[in-house]
């Protein structure tokens, strides 16, 4: 084979890549050494901003296969036929840690899928939990600040963490899942993925239903105890990244079964739970999931930076047949992701191959900008309407209208006792005694780092969720149980006042 020759970024052959050009044997180095200058300048710019959340992750390619006829619910082309396969890219991640943090940390896990459909890219940007800590996007930046580092010490801070959560009691459902062993899945392959939000599916006739996605792991849901996870953080901070890569390399392709929960608008109207509140699930007994398809991951990326670090998902990437719901958090996310990609990757990030709509090439009149590396529309018209017969809008891609009414205002969710019911059901009815022992031990270990008044406020929330739950936490933290019970019986405003300082 002919030996390939090294070149500069602009293709000039490189004569020496080991020694800088110097004036005389001992230097100094000459500015005319363009290869050296180019090499150092490029190195200086190797890093792009890390994701503000979900910075540590691993990705893989695969496909989705439809296994049930869902055409009465959605006209999405990629879901139009049993047996139809669509290429996809997945990125799994932790949330709060930096790019070098350990895969085994207690955290929700991101579960983001990019389907390369013939009607454009469809992104399902979910987590491994069916609910979330908050339900209004206004709270997201504050919430994330409390999960990251203290501004003074640059350390993780139990006071910030529990102060915010105890002032945000709608977080209790997600907190209970996070501190159970589901907060430390054994690998990315052994966890479920959920849309968490409600989305809309609509069919050819314009009829719509509300849906939630559940990608159930075919590997079985497996978790680590806190002790096992702690040991894993020390032994191999990249264990889940390694596991995903190696299992695919060895031909052991992980897969997930997609189950959907579906509610008609009429069912949704009379439903016990607010279907747009992301802190709630739809109980399986009331909305039994139906199996719809299968996702298989079978190919590793070749270059981590190009394909995984530069991958850009947004819940706003929807295709005809799939729409957003009024869920306030989802609406906030529909702004945030595209916006952060413009900052993290640049104006034309859709041209990065992993993000390209490869089965439905971009055709519009958006032009130019930094790194417009294709022909930018060539010499064709750069405006619409035009009378030169170029691409125009297609009415059939319009979404059916959704009636909305009410006053424009900053409406708050009413803080109601309902917020504690599902977390209580999880604790009482789903968890085994061993799960409850592990859960309460994990909470006590973390909450013990916070101030006593914050411990009391949060213990009262556990007590309100379930007496046994709160009692175990109070005992483990050596709190006055009578005080915890009294706080649990107050409304949130009085509880906050009583634990103000
Ligand atoms: P079901 O008894 O029908 O289902 C229980 C669900 O809980 C299963 O999906 C199971 O997942 C999951 N699960 C088991 N252990 C944990 C854990 N430690 N943390 C989180 N999830 C766990 O219950 P319901 O539908 O009536 O819901 C009861 C509670 O179960 C809910 O309040 C919610 O906390 C939890 N749950 C409900 C889901 C839903 O969409 N209805 C989804 C996930 C959790 P798996 O199948 O993988 O074992
Ligand atoms: C990543 C914002 C809630 C799942 C991100 C990123 C931002 C963000 C800015 C970084 C994206 C990037 O740089 O590529 C928000 C906001 C939220 C919110 C503002 C609430 C208002 C959620 C929820 C979920 C979720 C509820 C899950 C249901 C993810 C995932 C990623 C991510 C999986 C990583 C995507 C990847 O792998 O590249 N989020 N988020 N987020 N978020 Fe959220």
Q: What is the pLDDT of residues 379-416, one digit of tens each?
A: 999 999 999 999 999 999 999 999 999 999 999 987 66
338 is catalytic: no
Q: Is the CB of 426 under 6 A from ligand 1?
A: yes
Nearest Cα to Cα of residue 156 among 165, 146, 164? 146
Quote the tokens at residue 323. 């729409």
Q: What is the pLDDT of residues 75-101, one digit of tens each?
A: 999 999 999 999 999 999 999 999 999
Average pLDDT over residues 34-40: 97
Q: Which residues of 403-440 are buried (b: 16+ CB within 10 A; e: fewer)?
A: eeeeeeeeeeeeeeeebbbbbbbbbeeebeeebbebbb
- Annotated catalytic residue within 121, 127, 128, 442: 127
What is the distance in A from the centroid of ligand 1 to the CA of 431? 9
pLDDT confidence tier of residue 417, bands split at 50, 70 and 90? low
Using a 10 angstrom Cβ sphere, with 0-12 exposed, 13-18 middle and 19 or more buried, the burial of residue 200 is: buried
Which pLDDT score is estimated for 501? 83
Q: What is the pLDDT of residues 439-452, one digit of tens each?
A: 999 999 999 999 99
- Annotated catalytic residue within 35, 54, 173, 239: 54
For residue 201, is pLDDT > 80? yes
What number does the ligand 1 atom closest to the CA of 435 have? 18
Which pLDDT score is estimated for 413? 85
Nearest Cα to Cα of residue 56 among 194, 253, 233, 179? 233
Average pLDDT over residues 143-158: 98
54 is catalytic: yes
- Structural domains of the chain ordered from first start: 26-131+185-357 (2.40.180.10), 420-498 (no CATH)
Question: Is 337 annotated as a binding-site member?
Answer: yes
Which pLDDT score is estimated for 414? 74
Which pLDDT score is estimated for 394? 95
For residue 31, is pLDDT > 70? yes
Average pLDDT over residues 479-484: 98
Q: What is the mean pLDDT of the chain?
A: 97
CA–CA distance, 267 with 399 (Å, rounded to integer): 21
Which pLDDT score is estimated for 479? 98
CB-defined site of ligand 2, < 6 Å: 51-54, 57, 91, 93, 110-112, 125-127, 132, 137, 140, 196, 311-313, 329, 332-333, 336-337, 340-341, 344
pLDDT confidence tier of residue 2, bands split at 50, 70 and 90? confident
What is the distance in A from the centroid of ligand 2 to the CA of 143? 13
Nearest Cα to Cα of residue 268 among 211, 311, 186? 211
Nearest Cα to Cα of residue 102 among 263, 231, 288, 273? 231
Average pLDDT over residues 275-282: 97
ipTM over 0.90: yes
The residue nearest atom 14 of ligand 1, judged by CA position, is: 430
């Amino acid at each position: 084979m002919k030996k390939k020759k090294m070149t500069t970024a602009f293709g000039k052959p490189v004569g020496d890549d080991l020694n800088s050009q110097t004036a005389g044997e001992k230097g100094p180095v000459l500015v005319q050494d363009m290869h050296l200058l180019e090499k150092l300048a490029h190195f200086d710019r190797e890093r792009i901003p890390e994701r503000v959340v979900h910075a540590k992750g691993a990705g893989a390619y695969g496909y989705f296969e439809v296994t049930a006829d869902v055409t009465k619910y959605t006209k999405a082309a990629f879901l139009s036929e049993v047996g139809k396969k669509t290429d996809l890219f997945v990125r799994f991640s932790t949330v709060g840690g930096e790019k070098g943090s350990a895969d085994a940390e207690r955290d929700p896990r991101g579960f983001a899928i990019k389907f390369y459909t013939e009607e454009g890219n469809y992104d399902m940007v979910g987590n491994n939990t069916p609910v979330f800590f908050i339900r209004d996007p206004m709270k997201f930046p504050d919430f994330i600040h409390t999960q990251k580092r203290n501004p003074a010490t640059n350390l993780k801070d139990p006071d910030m963490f529990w102060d915010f959560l105890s002032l945000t009691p709608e977080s209790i459902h997600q907190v209970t899942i996070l501190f159970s062993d589901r907060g430390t899945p054994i690998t990315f392959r052994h966890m479920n993925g959920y849309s968490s939000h409600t989305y809309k599916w609509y069919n050819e006739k314009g009829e719509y239903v509300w849906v939630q996605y559940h990608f159930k792991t075919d590997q079985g849901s497996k978790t680590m105890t806190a002790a096992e996870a702690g040991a894993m953080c020390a032994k191999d901070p990249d264990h889940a990244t390694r596991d995903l890569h190696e299992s695919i390399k060895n031909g052991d392709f992980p897969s997930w079964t997609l189950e959907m929960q579906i509610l008609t608008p009429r069912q949704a109207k009379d439903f016990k739970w607010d279907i747009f509140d992301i802190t709630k699930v739809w109980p399986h007994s009331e909305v039994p999931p139906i199996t719809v398809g299968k996702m298989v991951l079978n190919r590793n990326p070749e270059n981590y930076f190009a394909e995984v670090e530069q991958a850009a998902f947004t819940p706003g990437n929807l295709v005809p047949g799939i729409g957003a719901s009024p869920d306030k958090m989802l609406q906030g996310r529909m702004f945030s992701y595209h916006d952060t990609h413009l900052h993290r990757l640049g104006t034309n990030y859709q041209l990065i191959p992993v993000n390209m709509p490869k089965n439905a090439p971009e055709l519009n009149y958006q032009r130019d900008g930094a790194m417009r590396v294709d022909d930018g529309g060539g010499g064709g018209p750069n405006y619409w309407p035009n009378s030169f017969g170029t691409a125009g809008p297609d009415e059939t891609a319009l979404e059916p209208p959704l009636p909305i009414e009410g006053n424009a205002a900053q409406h708050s969710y009413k803080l109601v006792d309902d917020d504690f019911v599902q977390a209580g059901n999880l604790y009482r009815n789903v968890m085994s005694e061993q799960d409850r022992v592990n859960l309460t031990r994990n909470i006590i270990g973390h909450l013990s780092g916070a101030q006593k008044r914050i411990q009391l406020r949060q213990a009262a929330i556990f007590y309100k969720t379930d007496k046994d739950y709160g009692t175990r936490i109070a005992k483990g933290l050596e709190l006055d149980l009578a005080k915890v019970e009294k706080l649990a019986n107050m409304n949130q405003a009085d509880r906050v006042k009583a634990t103000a300082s």
